[in-house]
Amino acid sequence: MCYAIPGKIEAIAEKTVVVEYFGEKRKAYNELDDLSVGDYVYAQGGFVIQKIPQDEAESILSVWKETFFDLQEVDLKLSRLDLNQESVSKECLRILDNAAEGRKLSREDILVLIKEKNKSALELLFKVANFLRQKHHKNSCCVHGIIEISNYCCADCAYCGISRSNKNVTRYRMSQKEILEAARQAIEEHGFKTLLLQSGEDSGYSIEELAEIVRQIKANWPALIFISFGEVGLDNLELLYTAGARGLLLRFETSNPKLYKQATGGKDLSSRIAHLKKAYALGYLIITGSLIGLPGQSEEDLLNDIFLAKELHAEMYSFGPFISHPQTPFTGNPSASTETMLKVIALARIIDSAHAKILVTTALETINPDARREALLAGANSVMLNATPLKYRPLYNLYPLRAHEKESIEVQIKDTIGLLMSLGRSPTDLSV
């Protein structure tokens, strides 16, 4: 299965190349040595990751061409917008009309939307977000793979099931050999073009070992590598970038410094922000966002979360509902509702229409099995599938009953492709 469409190099200006896909042109950053105009490549997240032989590219393109335009048509139909809704208040209609027209909303307007409870108004909000997603990103949907390499963590977050204080967790740490084999399978057998390596803040790997894992994957298989190892230290971010990592997933968890301290066992938000800023300066693609529904979090906090993610140059937004874990201090607190989650996703789309890739998180699917479809129709355009070896999956127990925990990667891929096709989405990363 293939998660990218081959593109043809149209122009090269130093490291920047123009790639053409079925008549559409995108810019990408090239780090390959031997690239010429006319070559076919795969690009992901704005990076050229692989050159492919012309005959192979042409045969893949001929298969894609059939479905590509059909899918776009289905998507276009599903994202049509009709703002003539009698059951929605005039004020809400005014705000949503401005949003659909691409005018900037005031903070007050956004607060009105986040506080909105009327079902028809919310349906319209989600439709506006879907309309903007289609307008700016067409029907592409990123499908990335994730490998959870270790559940050791030296942090003590009050919400998290794998925090160091939870003595009931069976800990695991994949060896370099196991990680490379999981990466090989994900890239070579399952066709992932972007792979995220994730772990708790695990001092059991030295930074040199992590860098070597990234280097080895890059040396052996064509893929864009994202990392999510927590706060590794500012200098180590540079080391991992040099090794070949090009994306950083690090949530700031909440934009509210007081709440952050409470939720993380006394840590300072500024350190997390410093990591995200440094990573951006180094050239990492930033994936960030927050936990929605933390005890004591306000609606204003949620807005600030979206604005902070934008300020930090999120290439991809990752918002997930807090889910209570019985062996943590935050046990017993309610999860955010699907409705709140969809509001946050839709507002992120409205606030950063043209730029945002927005992830449907596993936590959201855990609180609502239909959430992937609902979120994709409310502004989201990105999913991550879990390619961690099945025997380790239940041990990465951030919260109970994680969606897809027991599903093989083959089943996840099949279901995802089926859903995307039904919504007219292409499992590709073209919005670069």
Confirm or reject binding of residue 251 to ligand 5AD (CB under 6 A): yes
Site string for ligand 5AD, 138-167 (x = CB under 6 A): ---------------------xxx------
Could you please report the per-residue DSSP string of 35-80?
Answer: --TT-EEEEETTEEEEEE-HHHHHHHHHHHHHHHHHHHHHHHHHT-
Q: How far is the CB of 364 from ligand 5AD (least distance, A)?
A: 9
Site size toward ligand 5AD, by CB under 6 A: 13
Using the minimum distance from each CB to ligand 5AD, give the nearer residue, 71 or 249.
Answer: 249
Q: Report how far residue 149's alpha carbon sits from residue 146's, in angstroms, rounded to the nearest whole number.
A: 9
Give min distance, CB of 198 to ligand 5AD, in A: 7
Alpha helix (H) residue ranges in 221-327: 234-243, 257-263, 269-282, 299-311
Residue 298's φ and ψ, nearest 5 degrees, are -105, 170
Task: Report the distance separating Cα 308 and Cα 300, nearest Å.
Answer: 12
Residues 156-215 that bind ligand 5AD (CB under 6 A): 159-161
C-alpha angle 295/267/309, rounded to 5°? 70
* Beta carbon of residue 421, minimum distance to ligand 5AD (angstroms, whole number): 29
Return the structure tokens found at 53: 């032989």
Pairing type for strands 16-21 and 24-30 reads: antiparallel
Rounded Cα gap, residues 417 and 410, in angstroms? 11
**Which residue in the set 398, 403, 409, 420 belongs to the binding site for ligand 5AD (CB under 6 A)?**
398
Among residues 78 and 314, whose Cβ is nearest to ligand 5AD? 314
C-beta closer to ligand 5AD: residue 214 or 249:
249
H or E stretch at 360: strand 357-360
Q: Binding residue for ligand 5AD (CB under 6 A) from 126, 221, 319, 399?
A: 399
CB of 214 to ligand 5AD, least distance (A): 19
Least distance in Å: CB of 141 to ligand 5AD?
22
Cβ neighbours for 55, distance < 8 A, ≥ 6 positions apart: none
Least Å from the CB of residue 121 to ligand 5AD: 27
Nearer to ligand 5AD, 192 or 399 (CB): 399
Which residues are bridge partners to 316 per DSSP?
287, 357
Pick from 116, 253, 365, 429 the residue near ligand 5AD by CB under 6 A: 253
Question: What is the spatial distance between Cα 171 and Cα 162, in angstroms, rounded to a whole number?
Answer: 9
Which C-beta is closer to ligand 5AD: that of 64 or that of 399? 399
Crossing angle (nearest 10°) for helices 299-311 and 338-351 = 40
State in angstroms the smallest separation of the CB of 66 from ligand 5AD: 39
Q: Shortest gap between Cβ of 297 and ligand 5AD (angstroms)?
A: 13
Q: Which is nearer to ligand 5AD, 402 or 425 (CB)?
A: 402
Decide whether 237 or 323 has the Cβ nearer to ligand 5AD.
323
- Residue 200 and residue 150 in contact, taking contact as beta carbons nearer than 8 Å: yes
Task: Locate all alpha helices (DSSP H) within 283-407, ordered by sequence.
Answer: 299-311, 338-351, 362-367, 371-376
Look up residue 310 and give its two tokens: 């934008």
Compose the 287-326 pattern: x for residues touching ligand 5AD by CB under 6 A, - for all others. ----x----------------------------x-xx-x-
Specify the residue, 160 or 314, whose C-beta has the smaller distance to ligand 5AD: 160
| Cα gap 118→115, rounded to integer Å | 9
- Least gap, CB of 249 to ligand 5AD (angstroms): 8
Closer Cβ to ligand 5AD, 148 or 352, answer by number = 148
Answer for the pair 6, 55: CB distance below 8 angstroms, yes or no: no
CB of 321 to ligand 5AD, least distance (A): 6
CA-to-CA distance for 58 and 7, rounded, in angstroms? 10
Contacts of ligand 5AD in 344-363 (CB under 6 A): 363
Residues that bind ligand 5AD (CB under 6 A): 159-161, 251, 253, 291, 320, 322-323, 325, 363, 398-399
